[in-house]
Structure 1
Amino acid sequence: MRTPVPDYLAHVLDDCDDHHIGQLADYIPELAQANPNQLALAISTVDGEIYSVGDDEVEFTIQSMSKPFTYAYVLQHLGIETVLNKVGVEPSGEAFNQISLDKENRPKNPMINSGAITTHSLIPTDGSQSSAEILRAFMSELAGRELHFDEQVYASEIKTAYRNLSIGYMLRTVGILETDPVHIVNGYIRQCSIRVTVKDLVRMGSVLANGGVDPKTGKRLLNREVVRQVLSVMMSCGMYDAAGDWLTTVGIPAKSGVAGGILGVLPGQVGIAVFSPKLDEHGNSVRGIDIMERLSRDMGLHLMEAAPSAQTIVQSHYLTGVDDSISVYVLRGVLKFTEAEMLLRILQNEPEGHSKIVIDLSKISLIQDVGKRMFLEGIDRLIDDGHTLLLVDPERRLDHSRTYKDRVLHVFENLDELLEQQH
């Protein structure tokens, strides 16, 4: 059986592909040359599995999506209190490039340009590497591969960096920046020119979703306190002056970039990255927002309604019957997207054949709509592979007795009675 998750993601991409309003980031000449039709989507789970569709191999510049990771780096190395002395955490309610400070002459948060330039200035250096190179190496570790700078985009942004330079000089005037603002702004722009794919972004996001631990290597890269601080600021400030609308409609901590990317991270569950270059008036990807809203709605990912995820959905799995011809899966917990994906990934290891598969749902306390749809799709695919499916579902929480391909479900009240009938 092949898990249906990629098919679902492709379906979402197709549904959102006809929304062509918006404009390219034409104030950066190189970004104005982007292909407006490119579209990609990727999802990572907390155990490191990545699903991606569309133009998922296309590299684009990370831009402002670098801000949370720069913030995480300086928090990790300097401590939260030290960083708070320089950069606040309050939503600005203003555009990302607004020239403004709070009452203490600090940038209001690290997700707007003034805060991001300040955060970049805090990167500890010993002179052997530039601050941008330190960040490139850090983000490469998060992404699990070597990332590189886009020299053309960097050169293009430097030529038109008048507003960021004015922000830098303002920050130097009030004492927030302590060294040459031109050098710091150049480093910040170089930080934004790192090239990534949506798969890189969700691999980086999976570290945040997993509390600072790289799920692929098991290595702790960030402290839990740092991750909590970063995700909190992403939730309240990551989508600039559209943050309130984002919180109510999508409800996932996120950060956007003017190259057309959006990275969302739901702690303990998933990382999501989308890429589509056309932007709205806030500087956020138009189709990217559509996709994120759709996923949040379909998958029940809004932070205010998401229930805790289980580490595993399968309580036990064993073989029984004549010649071990019956494969029994006993499930426990809730069946949402995260758990359904995990279950389908386990079930796809069942070899094709004519064996019987028993799935016991009696210890499942909640089945969300997306979990039910994924589960029924998985049953259809197992039947396509030649298996006979038998379910234990005493509360009939699947609502009907047929799959989406109109196959009759064989539903039993009790696992022991079912197995006795099969011997």
Structure 2
Amino acid sequence: MEIPLKSYLTEILDRVRDRDSGAVADYIPELAAADPTPLAVALCTSAGRVYSAGDDEREFSIQSISKSFTYAIALQEVGVEKVLGTVGMEPSGEAFNELSLEGGTHRPVNPMINAGAIAVNQLINGEDSSVDARVTVLLDYFSRLAGRELHIDERITGSELATADRNLSLAHMLRSYGVIAGSAADAVTGYVRQCSVLVTVRDLAVMGATLALGGRQPVTGEQVLDPRVCRQVQAVMASAGMYDGAGRWMASVGIPAKSGVAGGLMGTLPGQLGLATFSPRLDSSGNSVRGAEIFRILSEDMGLHLMSALPSTGSAVRSIRTRGPVTVIRLQGGLGFTGAEDFLAAAAAHELTTVRVVVDMRRVSDIDAFGREMVLEGLRRIRTDGHRIAVIDPDHLLGDRRLGDGTTVEETDEVAVEVADEVK
């Protein structure tokens, strides 16, 4: 059975494809010359399953999305106290490249604006580290987070350094207050090289999922970061990741996120998944126009808003048992996107061969609209593959059990219960 998420993601891309508002970043020559048309989306589940659509293999520079991960690495390497002594964590309410520092302490307000990111970069590998050694540490961490070896686009590095006057001004200001110890030029070079790492939306979705899962990389299984580090990073992303529009973003979309001026956008749903989009045209705040709209659609359709998502603990599939001509799939807990995807993936991986398939929902506590549609579509696909299906749904969570082709599940609940209880 094919899981229908790729076709759903493709449909979302088609809904936003013709929107052409915004413009590519024009203050960096390499980005100003970029093709504005690419469009891609990806999500990675807690089980390490990655679903994507569009230009999902196209590489682009990570840009300011790197700030989230460099902040995480600094917390991991030098500890919270040292990092908080260097950079604050309050929303700035200003543009990402504003020439301003926190009153009194002279710290950058948070690590998601350029001044904060430059300061955080200098914490990596010690204050006496060379630029190359510092970048090597960052690139190794980024690669482990993505689950593959990543590389730096030196053309983008050169292009950004040629137009880095404002960032150099920030670095000189930081140095004048003793926030950084190295030269302003080295600080900006390290920061720009960090921003020039090439990624795909699939990479970003996996990297986001690693933050969402408390530092456990869902594909490789490696514990890359400490859970407390990931909690701190996502909290700051929620309040400052989308710059001066962060408050509106969290109220309307409700997904901790970080954007980059190459057109990437990465988000996390704690404990559940990471997601990412790529579309180069930006709004006035420097956020991808079509990418932000895709996030809004996903949040609304899939119930991903942080303040309203169904709880997800453990697997939604309690068991899959087969005896003779019958397979029984027992579900449990809340069936939002994560739980419903768990059901579809388990059914697909099991390679159902029996004549009859019974889905037992007696232990399901709740289901949202998107989860309901996913379960019903899964039932339709199981039947299309040649199986007779039945559902035990005493609380009528699936409504009238009408499938996508207009038909309903044929068998009665009484028959399904009898069959299910025979298969232990």
Instruction: Determine if the alignment matches structure 1 residue 267 to structure 2 residue 277.
Output: no
> 1:264 aligns to what SS in structure 2?
strand
Instruction: Determine if the alignment matches structure 1 residue 197 to structure 2 residue 200.
Output: yes
* 2:107 equivalent in structure 1: 106
> 2:274 aligns to what SS in structure 1?
strand
Q: Deviations over 1:318-369 (max 9, x none)?
A: 112xxx1100011111111001111101111354666100001111110110
Q: What is the CA–CA distance in structure 2 between the aligned matches of 1:406 and 1:152, rounded to whole Å?
A: 54
Q: TM-score, normalised by structure 1?
A: 0.96
* 2:213 equivalent in structure 1: 210
Alignment of 1:2-21 (within 5 A): 2-21=2-21
Instruction: Determine if the alignment matches structure 1 residue 180 to structure 2 residue 204.
Output: no
Per-residue deviation, 1:133: 2.1
Per-residue deviation, 1:138: 1.0
Alignment of 1:68-83 (within 5 A): 68-83=68-83
> 1:328 aligns to what SS in structure 2?
strand
* 1:412 equivalent in structure 2: 413
Over 3 Å counting, the alpha-carbon distance change for 1:413 and 1:31 in structure 2 is same
> 1:212 aligns to what SS in structure 2?
coil
* 1:296 equivalent in structure 2: 299
- Which of 137, 140, 165 is 2:140 aligned to? 137
Letter in 1 for 2:116: G
Per-residue deviation, 1:110: 0.2
* 1:366 equivalent in structure 2: 366
Over 3 Å counting, the alpha-carbon distance change for 1:421 and 1:227 in structure 2 is closer
Q: Cα RMSD between the aligned structures?
A: 1.6
Q: Percent identity?
A: 49
* 2:403 equivalent in structure 1: 403
- Which of 310, 314, 318 is 1:315 aligned to? 318
Q: What is the CA–CA distance in structure 2 between the aligned matches of 1:411 and 1:374, rounded to whole Å?
A: 21
Q: TM-score, normalised by structure 2?
A: 0.96
Per-residue deviation, 1:406: 1.4
Over 3 Å counting, the alpha-carbon distance change for 1:215 and 1:354 in structure 2 is closer
Q: How many residues align?
A: 419
Letter in 2 for 1:105: H
Per-residue deviation, 1:390: 0.7
Per-residue deviation, 1:62: 0.2
Aligned partners of 1:206 and 1:215 also within 8 Å: yes
Q: Deviations over 1:233-287 (max 9, x none)?
A: 0000000001011011111111000000000011111100000000000000000
Q: Deviations over 1:173-207 (max 9, x none)?
A: 11111121111111101110000001111111121
> 1:348 aligns to what SS in structure 2?
helix
Aligned partners of 1:268 and 1:308 also within 8 Å: no
Letter in 2 for 1:137: D
Q: What is the CA–CA distance in structure 2 between the aligned matches of 1:224 and 1:27, rounded to whole Å?
A: 37
Letter in 2 for 1:391: V
Please, which moves more after superposition, 129-138 or 93-102? 129-138
Q: What is the CA–CA distance in structure 1 between the aligned matches of 2:67 and 2:290, rounded to whole Å?
A: 22
Q: What is the CA–CA distance in structure 1 between the aligned matches of 2:79 and 2:357, rounded to whole Å?
A: 52
Aligned partners of 1:268 and 1:309 also within 8 Å: yes
Instruction: Determine if the alignment matches structure 1 residue 243 to structure 2 residue 229.
Output: no
> 2:266 aligns to what SS in structure 1?
strand
Q: What is the CA–CA distance in structure 1 between the aligned matches of 2:129 and 2:395, rounded to whole Å?
A: 66
Q: What is the CA–CA distance in structure 2 between the aligned matches of 1:235 and 1:137, rounded to whole Å?
A: 26
Letter in 2 for 1:46: S
Runs (5+) with no aligned partner, structure 2: none
Over 3 Å counting, the alpha-carbon distance change for 1:113 and 1:411 in structure 2 is farther
Aligned partners of 2:76 and 2:225 also within 8 Å: yes
Q: What is the CA–CA distance in structure 2 between the aligned matches of 1:353 and 1:118, rounded to whole Å?
A: 58
Letter in 2 for 1:97: N
* 2:357 equivalent in structure 1: 357
Aligned partners of 1:353 and 1:386 also within 8 Å: no
After TM superposition, which residue ranges in structure 1, 4 or more long, deviate above 6 angstroms?
A: none
Over 3 Å counting, the alpha-carbon distance change for 1:332 and 1:80 in structure 2 is same
